[in-house]
Amino acid sequence: MAGLIVQKYGGTSVAQPERICSVADRIAARYHAGHRLAVVVSAMGHTTDELIELAQKVSKEPPRREMDMLLTAGERISMALLSMALSDRGVPARSFTGSQSGIITDGAHRRARIRRILGDRVREALGRNQVAIVAGFQGVSEDKEITTLGRGGSDTTAVALAAALQADACEIYTDVNGVFSADPRFVAAARQWRTLPHDLMVELATRGAGVLHPRSVELARQYRVPLWVINSLRQAEGTEIVVRGMEEYGVVGVTSDSAKAWLEVKLSRPTALSALWDAAAKGQLAVVSPQFLDGRVSFFVEQDCAGEWKSQLQKLASDGFISSFELRTDWVPVSVVGDRFSQDGAALQAVLEALMSAGVEATAGNASSLAITIAVPAAKASDAVKHLHHVFLEGN
């Protein structure tokens, strides 16, 4: 079936000139099979890290605007090279920056959010039977400032572009075969899924599955974009993320997320909770799996944002909203994701019991309709995942 496909190739897939050439081979084959293609690319391999290192050599605290100016050089290089490699294969291609593609974002440098995609020049290129190469991760604000989207930005660009172009599919190329029931590097019995519904993929991604960025999957769910996860380095079947139908899946995965930490806050007065959420929203600080009991609220936060959380919480404490807080960077979330959990405490209890039998201490945990998440010691996370996978996914 020939159609309009948006593909996305991450940094690993374009890390060296030879890999760019094999990506070009893959695209050329699809092009010659009659597909129209818009291809989103990330910066080559470690380019972004190298640019950040350069910035640190000239400045103690680089302004975010200039970091965006700097980092967007990365995709500019990879997209021009990919376009050249295609042209060398007789495939007409045009590369476009985020700005040229009309990827309009808000003005939050280094973590901008896409507001809309104009895509005129991309459509025009497709109309001329050219492959459109689009810079991932970058956009332009209403007042014409260059922005970047933050982590997972290129996935998000690809899905948003697929939605804007009403593409038939969005293919995310990466260095793994697809979506697994646990990280196959640590759990030998992990199995790959052929299809998964958007909602369960959102849960897996949010809880540390790593293969896709949560924002991109949320966007795909919202616009009902059919999403594929495919290995760019070898031939393999991949995983298709589909619009949910009538079927149920049961437990689909066990994850842990070492990029998260656990935070517990003691509130001093009734308005404290909304002051806390306000501070989080203002600082764009993620709050994951919050739970509340007896004037204490606890949830997971990004390890990266630990410093920002501390200063926000100290301010709340000095303003009298909270009496104390405990930020535990040595506790991480472990989650069981699925769609057939009972609506009472039984599912939560089953997970807690399984952890206890494996000798893993569990401090806090909660259940939503699609996931159960427990804080466990970081040192025990891998044991916990293995054991939970065994209990919930193997043998029956």
Cα distance between residue 83 and residue 92, in whole Å: 8
Residues touching its own copies: how many (CB under 8 A)? 42
Q: Which stretch binds its own copies (CB under 8 A): 48-56, 206-214, 273-281, 304-312?
A: 48-56
Q: Is 88 in the site for its own copies (CB under 8 A)?
A: yes
Q: For residues 102 and 208, which CB has a smaller minimum distance to its own copies in the complex? A: 102
CB-nearer residue toward its own copies: 75 or 199: 75
d(CA 125, CA 91): 12
**Using CA atoms, how far apart are residues 118 and 392, in angstroms rounded to an integer?**
45
Q: How far is the CB of 359 from its own copies (least distance, A)?
A: 49
* Cα within 13 Å of Cα(255), Cβ side: 27
Candidates 4, 70, 286, 317: give the one binding its own copies (CB under 8 A): 70
* Phi and psi angles of residue 334, each rounded to the nearest 5 degrees, phi first: -120, 135
Q: Based on the shown chain and the rule CB under 8 A, indicate whether residue 90 belongs to the binding site for its own copies.
A: no
Hey, what are 89's tokens?
């294969």
Note whether 287 binds its own copies by CB under 8 A: no
CB 182 within 8 A of CB 190: yes
For residue 220, give the nearest of 251, 243, 239 by alpha carbon: 243
**52 interacts with its own copies by CB under 8 A:** no
> Is there binding between residue 22 and its own copies (CB under 8 A)?
no
Instruction: Restricting to residues 99-138, name those near its own copies by CB under 8 A.
Output: 100, 121
Q: Please name the residue that has the structure tokens 């369960």.
A: 200
- Listed ranges 47-55, 172-180, 181-189, 247-255: which one lies at the site for its own copies (CB under 8 A): 47-55
Compute how many other C-beta atoms are within 10 angstroms of the C-beta atom of residue 374.
27
Half-sphere exposure of 252 (CA within 13 A, CB side): 28
Q: Closer to its own copies at the Cβ: 75 or 171?
A: 75
Q: Is residue 72 at the binding interface for its own copies, with CB under 8 A as the rule?
A: yes
Cα→Cα distances 346→91, 135, 256, 340, 376, Å: 57, 47, 21, 12, 19
Contact 92, 27 (CB under 8 A): no
Task: Out of 4, 52, 77, 305, point to the residue binding its own copies (CB under 8 A).
Answer: 77
- Residue 80 near its own copies by CB under 8 A: yes
Instruction: List residues binding its own copies (CB under 8 A).
Output: 17-18, 20-21, 24, 51, 54-55, 57-63, 65-67, 69-70, 72-74, 76-77, 79-85, 87-88, 93-95, 97, 100, 121, 144, 146
